[in-house]
């Protein structure tokens, strides 16, 4: 039986995106319609058809029925992917039906729980939403002159997307597979199942000093260029030296690494690289080492909070690390336990006619100080040891 047959039988369509019971929330002073009407702009519709490869055919209710899922679950998936409620508008396509059917199929087969399927929808939606916004902004900003006289930037969009779409789709799948392979490799190398979620990682924050003042002084375009240069430099350095960029927050970057020495090297590289850029403000970095909970590509826990606090108290163009990371660097031979011990070792080596131990980093204990929410901590100043 088709969806239209079912509707013809007198079955009333439930609300496509259910509203919580009135008792669930305080009564608002006025009713607000949060649904979003799909665009009826001809060019927007043409672009949508080009990108999705299908015409609008279904209301949300019809799409859910055709996919064989409940309206409640379809609504959860739709919102998790980051899309606004669209009421009873006929705005969905065969691709939307197929996506609902695939997610629901994974749940029915027992491969994913329903909450996990919603997480998959949410993580994919959040990641690709930012990617799509960045890409279309970048492509359109690069169009300084239309290919034909009289064409507007909006009119240029269609042929541009038509040319780029197949190539970008292939590249996106390639990068995703590469990232999935790398992430899977890290997980299977975990010592036990518990470490797959709660792992010991070095977490670093890099923060531009005085960014708030800059926002008042710079023009929007200048500020955007500065943020893009900062994020690009950080992303490249983190990746090149074996770390993983977790997220960027304009004036702040969060990264992590399995190895404390890798995290320390990245931090010093960031300070050294950005310190030579006269257009950049000063930078400060904080790193902590310990158990971290990973969820949807993000990291959480006391270790992350400590890294953030260390960043906030770090001097300009300097790196502060916690005691756990300092201890790991000493244990692995990346830094001496103390400068006194290093000097004594060098003297013994010279006396015995052998080469002294070499270290990449130097650690200097700083004054203990209370850190909000974490008690008293003893930060260590991390520097590069002279060769």
Say how many domains are in the chain. Answer: 2
User: pLDDT (tens digit, 0 to 9) for every residue of the chain, 387 residues total?
Assistant: 333 443 444 444 444 444 333 333 333 333 434 456 676 777 788 888 888 888 899 999 999 999 999 998 998 898 888 888 888 888 899 999 999 999 999 999 999 999 889 888 888 888 888 888 878 777 766 655 556 666 676 677 788 888 888 888 899 999 889 988 887 876 676 555 555 556 899 999 999 998 888 888 888 878 888 888 899 899 999 999 989 999 888 889 999 999 999 999 999 999 999 988 888 899 999 999 999 988 777 889 999 999 999 999 999 999 999 999 999 999 998 988 777 777 777 777 777 777 877 889 999 999 888 877 788 888 999 999 876
Do residues 215 and 357 share a domain?
yes
Residue 273 lies in a domain: yes
DSSP assignment of 138-151: HHHHT--S-SSTT-
Tell me which DSSP letter residue 76 carries: H
For residue 52, count CB atoms less than 10 angstroms from its CB and return exposed for 0-12, middle for 13-18, buried for 19 or more. Answer: middle
Alpha helices in 9-111 (DSSP H): 42-52, 60-67, 71-80, 94-108
Q: Are 62 and 31 in contact (CB under 8 A)?
A: no
39 Cβ neighbours under 8 A, 6+ residues apart: 45, 48
Do residues 5 and 109 share a domain?
yes
Do residues 82 and 223 share a domain?
no
Q: Tokens in use for 264?
A: 């320390």
Number of H helices, E strands in the chain: 13, 10
Q: Tokens in use for 369?
A: 């100080």
- How far apart CA 101 and CA 64 sit, in angstroms, is 9
pTM here is 0.66
Q: What φ, ψ does residue 25 adopt, rounded to 5°? A: -135, 160
Q: Are 35 and 87 in contact (CB under 8 A)?
A: yes
Amino acid 14: pLDDT: 43
The SS3 call for residue 236 is helix
Segments forming the whole domain that contains residue 37: 1-19+32-126
Do residues 93 and 230 share a domain?
no
Residue 306 lies in a domain: yes
- Strands of the chain (E only): list them: 198-208, 244-248, 252-257, 283-295, 298-300, 318-321, 361-365, 369-371, 375-377, 380-384
Residue 118 lies in a domain: yes
């Amino acid at each position: 039986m088709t969806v239209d047959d079912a509707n013809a039988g007198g079955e009333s369509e439930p609300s496509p995106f259910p509203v919580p019971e009135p008792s669930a929330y305080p009564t608002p002073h006025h009713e607000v319609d949060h649904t979003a009407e799909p665009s009826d702009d001809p060019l927007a519709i043409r672009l949508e058809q080009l990108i999705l490869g299908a015409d609008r055919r279904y209301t949300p209710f019809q799409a859910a029925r055709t996919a064989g899922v409940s309206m409640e679950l379809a609504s959860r998936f739709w919102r998790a992917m980051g899309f606004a409620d669209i009421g009873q508008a006929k705005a969905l396509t065969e691709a939307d039906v197929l996506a609902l059917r695939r997610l629901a199929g994974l749940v029915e087969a027992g491969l994913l729980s329903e909450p996990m399927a919603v997480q998959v929808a949410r993580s994919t939606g959040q990641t690709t939403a930012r990617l799509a916004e960045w890409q279309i902004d970048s492509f359109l900003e690069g169009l300084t002159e239309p290919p034909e006289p009289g064409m507007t930037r909006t009119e240029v969009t269609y042929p541009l997307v038509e040319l780029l779409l197949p190539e970008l789709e292939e590249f996106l799948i390639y990068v995703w597979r590469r990232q999935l392979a790398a992430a899977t490799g890290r997980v299977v190398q975990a010592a036990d199942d518990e470490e797959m979620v709660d792992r010991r990682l070095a977490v670093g924050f890099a923060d531009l000093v005085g960014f708030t003042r800059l926002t008042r002084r710079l023009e929007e375009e200048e500020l955007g260029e500065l943020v893009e240069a900062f994020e690009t430099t950080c992303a490249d350095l983190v990746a090149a030296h074996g770390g993983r960029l977790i997220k960027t927050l304009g004036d702040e970057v969060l990264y992590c690494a399995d190895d404390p020495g890798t995290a320390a090297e990245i931090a010093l590289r960031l300070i050294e690289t950005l310190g030579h850029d006269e257009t950049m403000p000063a930078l400060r970095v904080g790193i902590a080492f310990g158990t971290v909970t990973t969820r949807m590509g993000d990291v959480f826990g006391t270790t992350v909070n400590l890294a953030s606090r260390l960043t906030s108290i770090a001097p300009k163009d300097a790196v502060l690390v916690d005691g756990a990371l300092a201890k790991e660097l000493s244990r692995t031979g990346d830094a001496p336990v103390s400068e006194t011990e290093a000097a004594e070792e060098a003297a013994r080596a010279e006396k015995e006619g052998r080469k002294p131990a070499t270290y990449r980093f130097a650690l200097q204990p700083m004054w203990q100080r209370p850190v909000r929410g974490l008690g008293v901590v003893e930060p260590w100043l991390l520097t590069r040891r002279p060769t």
